[in-house]
Each structure stands twice: as C-alpha cells, then as structure tokens.
Amino acid sequence: MRNTSRKVAVVGTGFVGTSIAYSMINQGITNELVLIDVNQEKAEGEALDLLDGMSWAQENVKVWAGDYQDCADANIVVITAGVNQKPGQTRLELIDINAGIITDVVNKIMQSGFDGILVVASNPVDVLTYSAWRASGLPSNRVVGTGTTLDTTRFRKEIAAKLQIDPRSIHGYIIGEHGDSEVAVWSHTTVGGKPLLEFIVQNNRLTVDDLTELAESVKNTAYEIIDRKQATFYGIGMSVARIVKAILNNEQAVLPVSAYLNGEYGEKDLFTGVPSVVDQNGVREIIELNIDPSERKKFAISSQQLREVIESLDLSKK
C-alpha cells in the first residue's frame, strides 16, 4: 500500500543524484523531492530543470532545493555525496575521502530530527553504508546501501543478450562487494525457472568459459563506462529509484541491497550485497541462499576485504 506522504531528500546533485531524482519523477515514485548540495545554486538549477517537465510526469511532484532541515520529515534520505571514481581507480580507493564526507553528511541529517530510512549510493557503497549506520545511530535495517543492485541488473542483461531472452525472465544475483571482489551466483541463476547451468547444457548456447567471461564483463562494466564518459549514473539512478519505490510502497520486494549481516552466510558486522526483503522499514530480512562451496569461498574473501577496510577506518565495534 502506497504511503500518502512520499517525501524523499537527495543529498548530492551530481550526475548520480540528479539521475536518481529524474528516475523517481518519471516513475511517479515520490510526491515531494528536496535536493541538497553544498553548491546551493547547482541544487536550485537542477530543481528548476526538473520542474520544467512536470506537465509530462505521471503526477505533480513538489521539487525544491533545500537544506538539511528539510530532512526532518522525509521518509527517505538518499546519500550520493562524495568524490567520484576516476578512470583506473577502484571503488575502495575512494574510501579515505568519502568516509569523512559521509559521516559529516549523516551527522547533519540526524541533527534535523530525521527518523526515516537512509539509502546510501556513494562509493565504496558497502563500507560507506557501514559508516553511515555507525554515524546515524539508526537500527541497521533502516540503513540500506545500493549493494549489488546495479551489478545484478548488468548480470541479467548480459545473460539475456547471450541467450536472446528478455532480461526480466532471467533471475540471478551478484552478491558481495559492489566492486572487484563481487561474486556471480551461478548456482542460483535461472532462465524462466530453469537452472541456467542445466539450460545451457541442453541448449548448447554457452560454455563454462563463456560464463567466466560474462562475470568478468559485469565486474568491469563500470570501468568501461568511466573510461568512455568519466562517470556512471543512469543505471545506478534507476537502481536507486527501484529501492526507494520498494520502501515507499512497502513492496516486500527481494533486492540485492547492501544489508547488515549478523551471522548470515557465516559473516558478521558488515554491510554487503545480498538478496534481502525490502519493505517500508528498510531491510526486513536477508534471504540466505545455499550457495555452492566455491561461491561461498569467494563471498568470504569479499567480506574479509570489506572488513579490513572497515577496521582500517576504525569504524568497527569495540
């Protein structure tokens, strides 16, 4: 059931923040949208630009450039603030600068009296979601990172292209870090309900080598895009809009967001991308897949890498 109040604040009006705002307006997800940025004029310009198309939107949305006090009664605050990934740079290399930025942003959000759900889209998203949770004091279920939602839609797109099947009929996940240690879960990937590994054997369309190449392609997609246009923003914009929609509409949708693990998959005290039930309270529960031993080993390695970064920033619990 859709909430009457659907107010969303977006912190950061760069390419990602504005793509999120544009996606939400076009899909009729929010009815109040406030844009917040250290560059107030930029936020004002983006709000005016979005308002120019309002007569073509699904519904009339109130859009304005505001400040952190406007977060007080927001249902969701989406955080995109931070330094962008540069060509040749990994997401984890952004951490030193962006961890400080996120902590400062979250402190300002919470000082407004905000009591909703935080959605973190800044990179490296898994570590910064942990940082945002620690700074906010909110329950872990109400701090949600974008996780591997974008990686997963890339994954399904690539499989669909290889098999010439609608990507919406492909079901499977990328889990773990939104980054170089992400894990393709082939053991739980299906085509029209049929296990992919069984499907490709019977149809002779893909080989094991093809699957390895496909997973590498998915992992490196962001680098390919950044090399060509300096940033990625449309895909993540639509992915964040999907998460926000699931929360505002209490969908109980299963999405591979960055969620807090407390024993699931044998891991504790970190946020990482795993299939999770997303509803009006954020992450209701984590769907723990019975992944095969090789996938579990890769997931453990990914989790350990994230944990080491968290410990290096002194964010972990004492």
Identify which has the larger pLDDT, 19 or 95. Answer: 19
Check whether 132 has a pLDDT greater than 60. yes
**Pair 101, 179 in one domain:** no
Q: What is the pLDDT of residue 85?
A: 58
- Confidence bin at 2 (pLDDT 50/70/90): very low
Pair 147, 270: CB distance under 8 Å? no
Q: What is the pLDDT of residue 222?
A: 78
**Pair 164, 195 in one domain:** yes
Q: What is the pLDDT of residue 232?
A: 84
Q: What is the pLDDT of residue 185?
A: 96
Q: What CATH number is associated with residue 194?
A: 3.90.110.10
**Pair 134, 166 in one domain:** no
- Confidence bin at 129 (pLDDT 50/70/90): very high
Pair 210, 128: CB distance under 8 Å? no
Q: What is the pLDDT of residue 317?
A: 46
Query: Token pair 């959000």 is at which residue?
Result: 109
Note the pLDDT tens digit of each residue in 196-247: 988 887 777 777 788 888 888 888 887 888 889 888 889 999 999 999 999 9
Q: Which bin fits 289, alpha (ψ -120 to 50), beta or left (φ > 0)? A: beta
Domain count, the chain: 2
- Confidence bin at 312 (pLDDT 50/70/90): confident
Does residue 1 form part of some domain? no
Does residue 30 form part of some domain? yes
What would the mean pLDDT of 4-12 be, rounded to a whole number? 93
**Pair 61, 156 in one domain:** no
**Pair 165, 212 in one domain:** yes
Task: Give the rounded percent of residues in the chain with a pLDDT score beyond 70.
Answer: 94
**Pair 69, 172 in one domain:** no
Q: What is the pLDDT of residue 315?
A: 56
**Pair 169, 277 in one domain:** yes
Does residue 107 form part of some domain? yes
User: What residues are annotated to the active site?
Assistant: 178
pTM of the model: 0.92
**Pair 177, 131 in one domain:** no
**Pair 14, 137 in one domain:** yes
Q: What CATH number is associated with residue 79?
A: 3.40.50.720
Query: Token pair 């996938």 is at which residue?
Result: 295
Last residue of a domain, one of 128, 145, 162: 145
Last residue of a domain, one of 122, 145, 168: 145
- Confidence bin at 168 (pLDDT 50/70/90): very high
What is the span of the domain harbouring residue 71?
7-145
Last residue of a domain, one of 145, 168, 201: 145
Does residue 2 form part of some domain? no
Does residue 318 form part of some domain? no
Task: Give the rounded percent of residues in the chain with a pLDDT score beyond 90.
Answer: 73
Q: What is the pLDDT of residue 313?
A: 80
Check whether 265 has a pLDDT greater than 90. yes
**Pair 140, 164 in one domain:** no
Residue 242: both structure tokens together: 């999907």
Identify which has the larger pLDDT, 318 or 118. Answer: 118
**Pair 223, 127 in one domain:** no
